[in-house]
Chains A and B, each alone.
Chain A
Amino acid sequence: GAVVSQHPSRVICKSGTSVKIECRSLDFQATTMFWYRQFPKQSLMLMATSNEGSKATYEQGVEKDKFLINHASLTLSTLTVTSAHPEDSSFYICSASEMGRLNTEAFFGQGTRLTVV
């Protein structure tokens, strides 16, 4: 299957600082990438849809000013958690589908464990 790489895999930051997470599609191009959040022992919740060259679409209840998404190229989307607080600590996972192919399954990155202290 297609490869999606996420970096970093783990990050610890201080309250009030910002953290950037990268999501790359390594062997295909993706006009659309997706960002999910997962709390311990819970399932994945979609946060936002990242569209190459345009603004991200956020799910209800997700603060767009806190979770900044940039999709500058067909292989890279970034999620920046701004002014992080301990309640932002979570597992963040991105996914991507191959460009130009509808009805094709999405592949996930390995996730980023964010801990805010």
Chain B
Amino acid sequence: EDQVTQSPEALRLQEGESSSLNCSYTVSGLRGLFWYRQDPGKGPEFLFTLYSAGEEKEKERLKATLTKKESFLHITAPKPEDSATYLCAVALTDSWGKLQFGAGTQVVVTP
């Protein structure tokens, strides 16, 4: 059975305190792995797509990496505005809208 597991469930950081979120997956055929950010009461906001092991992508204070079994989202020197739930999702078909999501990591960054 295909599974996407995110850890930790919640993370509380001081402003400037870097950390990493984990997304491990066991799927039969990965077409793409996605990271989204979701603010309370809002839809997910697209961050990154990763296609293959070894790939890395960066955007401001965020960096996503991918191995054959897991992906990490590194948050460097976070600011309070980085507080959100970060969702990992995998596409199992060539239709990238059809996603299987992990449960998310809720990140709170305090000043």
Contacts and interface: CB of A to CB of B under 8 A. Distances in A.
Interface of A: 1, 4, 6, 32-34, 42-46, 49, 91, 93, 95-97, 102-111, 113
Nearest to B95: A32
Contacts, number: 67
Interface stretch (B14-22, B66-74, B76-84, B96-104): B96-104
B34 to A, nearest CB: 6
A97 B42 contact: no
B27 to A, nearest CB: 14
Classify the interface of chain A: helix, strand, loop or mixed: strand
A61 B12 CA distance: 36
Interface residues of B, number: 24
Contact of A111 (B42, B46, B100, B103): B42
Given A110-B42, A111-B42, A49 B98 contact: yes
A33 to B, nearest CB: 7
A102 B97 contact: no
A108 B38 CA distance: 10
Interface string B36-48: 1000011111100
Given A32-B97, A103-B94, 8 more contacts: A4-B43, A42-B103, A44-B101, A93-B43, A93-B44, A105-B46, A106-B46, A111-B41
